[in-house]
Structure 1
Amino acid sequence: MIWSAKLIKHREDNRIGVVFENDQKLIRRIKMISGARWSQQKKLWHIPDTLENRKRFKIMQKQDLELSPQGREHLAKFDQWLSAKRYSPNTIKTYLEALRSFLFFFKEKDIAEITNDDVLYFNTKHILKNNFSASYQNQITSAVKLYFKTVRDTKIDIEKIHRPKKPKLLPNVLSKEEVKNILEVHSNVKHKTMLCLIYSCGLRCSELLHLRPMDIDSKRNIVLIKQGKGKKDRITPLSPKILNLLRMYYQLYKPKTYLFEGKEAGTVYSPRSLQSVLKHALEKCNIQKPVTLHWLRHSYATHLLESGTDLRYIQELLGHNSSRTTEIYTHVSTKSLQQIKSPFDDL
């Protein structure tokens, strides 16, 4: 075995100890993990005890078994509540994992006695101390706020639990030439069709993978996206070029249940495999940028805006609840910027 991992205590903190051969490549890799430290006393590297790191090092021990009986009971109730409200499986999983981390931190304390000061202490001693991201902190906050709204006899004041300030990041956008290279490089019809459909319709990865053959309406030239993010249905225009590609793909693969199926008929195509499809395309194109599938969706929206499409229509096509979410693409569109002359040119 190249490495082994186990749960340890380090200065009263829960950590994951990782032991491996003295290999510089492995050392460089573990240094890239946020919060990684070397223990001279224990003669091992150790990293923060998070669910992400447990999965990374395949520590299969379930954290809910380490919770107090009360914590396990509340976690189960929260799971039932989320399921009854028909939250998506991914949201339920994210919220339960976030709440599990919070309850595990306070496993020695009666849940009814947890106060806002404890939430602040958790943020300081767990989130900030381990240098976790603001998005991870926001997940914890969302789960805790929602959880305490469903639990009675608590000393928590929901309104006083504040979210971390979000960094204002611009969406990553590719040029039309880069998109064209990525979409055309694959000779495999199935792989090419999947990537082309994501860009041409501005789809999320999960939306593409859950499309069914009947969702392609060739008569009206539209794609029906059912139960997308937020459990919303929407439609998006279907390009005639994509329709021709889809017909060619359908003749070759004849999908039954899902438009793009896995190795076994009737199964959903793996998100990991779809990411590999993009990765291979990038390698063939020699594109060094850390492109993700979502970049194609961002590029779709930005290119629509630059071609003169009204922002309101783009909002509908993307399935955004708020126009403020869609407005972020105005900050990366180069259409207006190209008309601005730099004073440097007059020097």
Structure 2
Amino acid sequence: MENTKLREQFIRDMKLKGFAEGTQKAYLSCVILFVKKYNRNPQELGETEIKEYLFQLSEEGRSKTYINQCYSGLRFLYETTLKRDWESYKIPRSKQKKRLPVALSQQEIYTLITETKNLKHKAIFSVMYSGGLRVKETTSLKADDIDSKQMRIYVSDGKGGKDRYTILSNTALKDLREYCKTYRITDSYLFKGRDSETPLSNRTVQSVFKQIKEKEGLDKRATVHSIRHSFATHMLESGVSIYHLQRLMGHTQVQTTSKYLHISNLSALQITSVQDKLFGSVKEL
């Protein structure tokens, strides 16, 4: 994107919109690659080139997630920065297959936390499961975010720039106190990186989870984000309403939270067939 003025305006618009830093980088990267393909000013390009480019990505075998990311980046550029009528372009968005989240069982969560011997890593997994936190939300936690009096965790600037409170369990509090005492954590980030001014990287947490998962033989499909999925699933199974869970998870729409109903244990939810109620659970002799 050689047009420096346009590039600066595009970045300014994304910041004004409140996009996360990662989203800004991803959108800018997509736009730069699009412009390089045609080697022309974006203002000279339009519907034909955009459709051709997105089709090319599909033919190259790029993931639907990446294609949709490029679609969103280009749409923001043309619709917001260049003030074009995007709807008139009639560019279809790649339809993504909706996959069910992978959640660990309660026994697997217990194994994960108890078999993590490093106090720092154990505290991280414990806090994540306690409040259903995302990895970045966990690594961004500061000492003041832990409210031991009201037993809650303050999540600042979560996904979508939303703040929220979620649950702090007694178990997680115990693990945190042991960790903080050993590592002499008093202020700033709870889980520091290489220096005291930066948080631990998300990649490090992902790597540690993968090592323990393989060592303990946990669900092969699971990622560190499965800890959050597990919290949601187990909370529903324990009887927490989906509307309360929505607030704890920080979801904007209840439909996002409802996906956990599909992977919850139906017997734990005490859901039975209406046929059994109708026929009084009569069994054959």
Q: Does the TM-score normalized on the shorter chain lie above 0.5?
A: yes
Match in the other structure for 2:279: none
The structure-2 alpha-carbon separation of the partners of 1:229 and 1:154, relative to structure 1 and needing over 3 Å to count, comes to closer
Residue 221 of structure 2 is aligned to residue 290 of structure 1: yes
Letter in 2 for 1:278: F
Output the CA distance in 2 between the equivalents of 1:145 and 1:155: 10
Alignment of 1:303-314 (within 5 A): 303-314=234-245
SS at match of 1:102: helix
SS at match of 2:159: coil
SS at match of 1:230: helix
Q: Which runs of 5+ in 2 are unaligned?
A: 276-282
SS at match of 2:165: strand
Deviation per residue, 1:294-314 (Å, 9 max, x gap): 111011101111111100011
Deviation per residue, 1:126-158 (Å, 9 max, x gap): 211101111111101111111112334758546
Bigger drift between 289-298 and 278-287 goes to: 278-287
Counterpart selection for 1:213 from 139, 143, 146: 143
SS at match of 1:236: strand
Match in the other structure for 2:100: 170
SS at match of 1:235: strand
The structure-2 alpha-carbon separation of the partners of 1:251 and 1:100, relative to structure 1 and needing over 3 Å to count, comes to same
Letter in 2 for 1:302: T
- Whether the 8 Å contact between 2:54 and 2:71 is mirrored in structure 1 is no
Deviation per residue, 1:263-301 (Å, 9 max, x gap): 322321121211122122113312360321111101110
- Whether the 8 Å contact between 1:315 and 1:323 is mirrored in structure 2 is yes
Question: Stretches of 4+ moved more than 3 A in 1?
Answer: 151-159, 336-341
Q: Which runs of 5+ in 1 are unaligned?
A: 1-66
Residue 33 of structure 2 is aligned to residue 106 of structure 1: no
| Identity score, percent | 33
Bigger drift between 217-226 and 110-119 goes to: 110-119
Residue 59 of structure 2 is aligned to residue 129 of structure 1: yes
The structure-2 alpha-carbon separation of the partners of 1:161 and 1:271, relative to structure 1 and needing over 3 Å to count, comes to same
Letter in 2 for 1:75: R
Deviation per residue, 1:79-109 (Å, 9 max, x gap): 12223443221111111112122222222x3
Match in the other structure for 1:44: none
Q: Which has the higher contact order (CA 8 A, sep 6+)?
A: 2
Alignment of 1:194-273 (within 5 A): 194-255=124-185, 256-273=187-204
**Count of aligned positions:** 274
Match in the other structure for 2:9: 77
Output the CA distance in 1 between the equivalents of 2:52 and 2:17: 30
Match in the other structure for 1:86: 18
Shift of 1:166: 1.6
Output the CA distance in 2 between the equivalents of 1:188 and 1:271: 17
The structure-2 alpha-carbon separation of the partners of 1:288 and 1:85, relative to structure 1 and needing over 3 Å to count, comes to closer
The structure-2 alpha-carbon separation of the partners of 1:316 and 1:154, relative to structure 1 and needing over 3 Å to count, comes to closer
Q: Which has the higher helix share?
A: 2
Shift of 1:112: 2.5
Q: CA RMSD in A?
A: 2.4
Q: Which has the higher strand share?
A: 1
